[in-house]
Structure 1
Amino acid sequence: MVTLHRITPTLSASYKTVRLCALQDTPSAFGSTSARESQFSETDWHSRAANLCTQQSIGYLAYHQDEYCGIACGFLDQQVPRSAELVSMWVAPNHRRAGTGTLLVNAIESWARSVQRTLFVSWSPTTILPPYLSTSALDSPKTAEPSHIPTIPI
């Protein structure tokens, strides 16, 4: 059974491992590269993990059979009131289509609701939308959109 672990500084090494795997597996899905982030120091990773457990953000690692196999993070959008953004969503290839992505998205969505925000996911025309995002979300009216990138309410 997959469990979710909240990203905190104590999990910075695991966060680093999963993030670098995600960047290597699906480089076009992220705004960074494995080459860039693999140069970060352990202090950098500790700080990045600390930035994912604040009042403005949250991050989860999916854990199954003694390994971390997925990640999802959420940030409150300071430019668009009452919205939060789903970022850094990734599931290891051998754990896809097993509900891990849905579990991660639901956790971020639950966090967004708990702080009275609507969750959005960023995408670009070249993004392949994963199955855990319903296609009906593409047709729904957008109630709030961060101006910097297209979003889909979920």
Structure 2
Amino acid sequence: MAGGPVVLQVEQVIGVDAARLRALRLSALSGDPEGFGSTLERDLARAPSFWAEWARASEVGEEQRTFVLVDAAAGQDGDWVGLAMARIVPERPGEAELLSMWVAPAVRGGGAAELLCDACAAWTRSRGVATLVLAVYAANGRARRAYEKCGFSLDGDDAGELLRMVRAA
């Protein structure tokens, strides 16, 4: 990112974005490995077809949509500085999951997470789904506080390794 002011905007991932999606996901796993249900090693080993399918599914937008946070001040293509995916849960048709959420440290605390969560909630509503859910590691207090700021609340008790949080879409 350049040294000037950050201008954040949300964009959806489309099919041609597979390589950029992979690079952002690997950056997220490198910087915050404790926050995801995957590992850097696992995602490094994934075939190019995995990333192409993820990007294509986002573009189609029937079952999932992936959003990126773009620093538009960084030039024509902008730097990708955040990521979140909403995916409809087939077994629970009234819910969509928020997955793969990550915001670059340089833009944390300035509303970046809210932009991504709001985009996921809007897509969820557009698909006729009323509730957005997520799982957060109990030990990740920073993420839990960020999700609470974005309108999520604990669903159930706070025992266990993973906590379920919900938000109306």
TM-score range relative to shorter protein: 0.7 to 0.9
Q: Which residue of 1 aligns with 2:30?
A: 24
Quote the offset at 1:6 in angstroms. 0.8
Query: Aligned partners of 1:130 and 1:85: how far apart in 2?
Result: 18
Quote the offset at 1:9 in angstroms. 1.5
1:77 aligns with 2:95: no
Equivalent AA in structure 2 for residue 107 of structure 1: A
Equivalent AA in structure 1 for residue 64 of structure 2: S
Deviations 1:41-84 (A, max 9, x none): 32331122223333110001111023110000000011112111
What are the ranges of 5 or more consecutive residues in structure 1 without an aligned counterpart? 143-148
What are the ranges of 5 or more consecutive residues in structure 2 without an aligned counterpart? 1-6, 157-161
User: What is the TM-score of this pair, normalised by structure 1?
Assistant: 0.85
Q: Which residue of 2 aligns with 1:105?
A: 117
Identity %: 24
Quote the offset at 1:12 in angstroms. 0.8
Match of 1:6 among 5, 12, 19: 12
Aligned positions of 1:136-151 closer than 5 A: 137-138=152-153, 150-151=163-164
Point out 4+ residue stretches in structure 1 off by more than 6 angstroms: none
Aligned-residue Cα RMSD (Å) equals 2.0
User: What is the TM-score of this pair, normalised by structure 2?
Assistant: 0.78
Change (3 A) 1:20 1:130: farther
Match of 1:134 among 149, 154, 169: 149
The answer to whether the Cα contact below 8 Å between 2:113 and 2:150 also exists between their aligned partners in 1 is no
Equivalent AA in structure 2 for residue 27 of structure 1: P
Instruction: Give the match's secondary structure for 1:131.
Output: helix
Change (3 A) 1:136 1:89: closer
